[in-house]
Amino acid sequence: MLGLGLGLVLVLVLGLVLVLGLVLGLVLGLGLDAAPRFPAVALPTQNATPAPATSAITKNPVRIPQYCPAAHSRPYSKRMAKPSRAHPANVPGPWFVDDTCIDCDACRDTAPGVFTSYDRDSQSIVAHQPVTRDDLLAAHRAMLLCPTASIGVRAPRPDLAALPEPFPQLIAPGVHRCGYNSPDSFGATTYFVTRPGGNLMIDGPRWVPSLARRIADLGGLAHILLTHRDDIGDAARYADHFGARVWIHDADRSAARFATDLWRGDAAIDFAPDLCVIPVPGHTRGSVVFRFRDDTLFTGDSLHWSRGMGALSAFEGACWYSWSAQAASLRALADLAPRFAWVLPGHGGHTHGDPAVLHQSLLTLVAGMESGVDHSAAPW
């Protein structure tokens, strides 16, 4: 009986060892870990083929990796504007702005007939309730692009579902406003450009699946061009979704380590026959302006239209690198872009006008910057 008992124990031990061996084999063979894996985000430190020191463009052949939640900016707030927090200066009616507004100006640039600035509290308010269909669509767009979800509608709520698709919004030939401004870029306006050589996104909106579907319907996305380090938004996620290349100036690269390609130096670069990259150090060291088809400037935060002054302006109070360098950059821009008719910024007003008038406005701005005119309190 003792021998039989020892035999049974030995069989059980061998069986347990066999089971443990099979489990260990599965773990090693399938590469299972105790914690879930997220795809790594490539942080390229050098090029596979180093570019010459004089090269203005650095190309990294590594494609954008899978979207990594750990590297993604914080998600857009799921809050809704609260009628109980509506600013008292809103005109009576269903549309309102609550007191969480950060005064990014996006709603006023998108729907100037509905929203205005309330300077005492540095925020936007509803100045006129939308009545026409065009005003209603503009207000709807402003509500959707607001980075803090500060715009709301209370009963009687209009039928917004009957309105056209809000974004991308065509605002110039081949140029669309993306909408869905990101809180990570203080509500910067971003753009989508359709062109035969591959569609472009200028700076990054927040990630919205419906916007991605509309971009796919319009031919997808080949390149994301970043004007500077502040307005990146969810560019990484759009790049991952479309397999697009991402470009930024080397001086601002630390804010977009996922970028696949870099511009270097301060000389203008012909990106394509219809697109020139013009470095404009000033707002940040790596700021650039994109001149598209000679008549359109995507200016980031380096240049904008001031509705309050009725002229081109720049943000002296939000110049993070060098105001004198920004003045010199804009002087050079005036030489490189003498016939622009559109100014499409990240922050501040956009405008379309006579090229000669706009060029003179730019020269006047630069002269004021060079002579010490104070722009720190210039109106939106």
Percent pLDDT > 90 in the chain is: 74
User: What's residue 375's pLDDT?
Assistant: 86
User: What's residue 120's pLDDT?
Assistant: 78
pLDDT band at 37; cut points 50, 70, 90: very low
Buried b or exposed e, range 138-157, using 16+ CB within 10 angstroms: bbbbbbbbbbbbbbbbeeee
Closest CA to 136 of 174, 181, 106, 166: 166
| Residue 223: Cβ-neighbour burial (10 angstroms; 0-12, 13-18, 19+) | buried
User: What's residue 86's pLDDT?
Assistant: 97
User: What's residue 36's pLDDT?
Assistant: 23
Whether 9 has a pLDDT exceeding 50, the answer reads no
pLDDT band at 378; cut points 50, 70, 90: confident
Whether 83-161 shares its CATH topology with 167-370 is answered: no
CA angle centred on 379, ends 373 and 380, rounded to 5°: 130
Percent composition of the chain: helix, strand, coil (DSSP 3-state, to 5): 30, 20, 50
The amino acid present at 83, given as its one-letter code, is: P
User: What's residue 137's pLDDT?
Assistant: 96
Q: What backbone torsions phi and psi does residue 2 show, to the nearest 5 degrees?
A: -60, -40
Whether 128 has a pLDDT exceeding 80, the answer reads yes
Q: In this structure, what token pair is assigned to residue 22?
A: 């099979």
Q: Parse the chain into domains and list their residue ranges.
A: 83-161, 167-370
Whether 26 has a pLDDT exceeding 50, the answer reads no
**Digit-coded pLDDT (tens) for 152-184:** 999 888 889 889 999 999 999 999 999 999 999
pLDDT band at 16; cut points 50, 70, 90: low
Q: What is the mean pLDDT of the chain?
A: 84
Helix (H, G, I), strand (E, B) or coil at 125: strand
Distance CA 149, CA 112 (A): 18
User: What's residue 154's pLDDT?
Assistant: 94
110, 130 in Cβ contact below 8 A? no
Distance CA 343, CA 336 (A): 14
Mean pLDDT of 225-251: 98
CB neighbourhood size of 192 (10 A): 25
**DSSP string over 297-356:** EEEETS-EEETTTTEEE--GGG-SS-HHHHHHHHHHHHHH-TT--EEEESSSB-EE--HH
167, 201 in Cβ contact below 8 A? no
pLDDT band at 106; cut points 50, 70, 90: very high
* Residues facing 288 on adjacent strands: 279
Helix (H, G, I), strand (E, B) or coil at 160: helix
Mean pLDDT of 70-79: 46
Mean pLDDT of 137-141: 97
User: What's residue 143's pLDDT?
Assistant: 97
Lowest mean pLDDT among 38-47, 132-141, 294-303: 38-47
List, as own/partner pairs, every contact residues 156-163 make where C-beta atoms lie below 8 angstroms and the sequence separation is at least 24, other chains included: 156/94, 157/94, 158/94, 158/130, 160/136, 163/133, 163/136, 163/137
Q: What backbone torsions phi and psi does residue 107 show, to the nearest 5 degrees?
A: -65, -35
Distance CA 146, CA 80 (A): 11
The predicted model scores a pTM of: 0.81
Architecture of the CATH domain 167-370: 4-Layer Sandwich (3.60)
Architecture of the CATH domain 83-161: 2-Layer Sandwich (3.30)
pLDDT band at 320; cut points 50, 70, 90: very high
* Residues facing 118 on adjacent strands: 123
72, 268 in Cβ contact below 8 A? no
